[in-house]
Amino acid sequence: MKKRNIIIDCDPGIDDIVALCFAIANEDKLNILGITTVAGNQSIEKVTKNALGLMSFLHKDIKVAKGAKGPLVREKRPASNVHGENGVGDYELPEAAELYSNNAITFLRDTIMSADDKVTLVPVGPLTNIALLLKTFPEVIEKIELLSIMGGSTNGGNCTPTAEFNVWADPEAARIVFDSKLPIVMSGLNVTHCTGLYRDDVDKLLKSDGKVSHMCGEILDFYFRGDHVKSGKFTPIHDACSIMYLVHPELYQYKHMDVKVDCSAELNRGNTACDVREWIDYDESYPKILTSIDQDKFTEILLNGLYKLDTIVK
């Protein structure tokens, strides 16, 4: 089967690190053309360092390009309470690999336009880089196959009652992306809250002798200190959902919906207003909103991917 060309746009971030590991574990299906970083979970300097540090840790030479240092309009507000001061639960990744580019937008343009086939973008942080790309270099649109986005929600938020963090962090960028009419798959909180690992799973990772699985156990252990973890027993791995969809779409149920992003400055800032009315049928030109997931299979496949990397990375 032909590999899918992808570029992962991220803000590592604990769940970003796990998602990147899972993507690399599936390089038999995914041709990872590069990684771009965006300020979100932490500052652009910290998240870029984390992406580069992970490449060093995994001995991978995937190109990393540094992106936007803040939202298009808003003030930057990192999620230190969830991801820690360094963005990866205080875990110390090795000395950072060499940065390929200081300009993620031109890197995205050049990589997409020079690819031998269409490219899927996987934005799992604020959508600032993607919005800038679409507005600055609209010629890339014809070569983008899909946007597999982690962001938004059909039924409430995590950083506010109505908004998910990635969209809330830069709603203007999110509106540009959702209004682009590009093919979009949205992994929102309504599904990602069921995509994750149990306390027992993380304990097993912590006890593992494998380099990758043990590292993931250490950074995920940090999550269980936060109030976002359900009764201390289960933690979502939000960003892995957008990668999982690309390699195992059969795990998901979905519905095409219209999505409007609220850019107001009040309570509903960042709300993704999804038209969930059952009697309204939208065609395939509208975003594909993931609505449910085979949770047990997700957990099994994710863990197997991390353990698979242990056999490759020493």
Q: Which residues are catalytically annotated?
A: 238
Sign of CA dihedral 181, 119, 153, 299: positive
Q: What are phi and psi of 55, to 5 degrees?
A: -60, -40
CB-based contact 108:140 (threshold 8 Å): yes
Residue 165 neighbours by CB distance under 10 Å: 23
Which residue type is seen at 230?
A: K
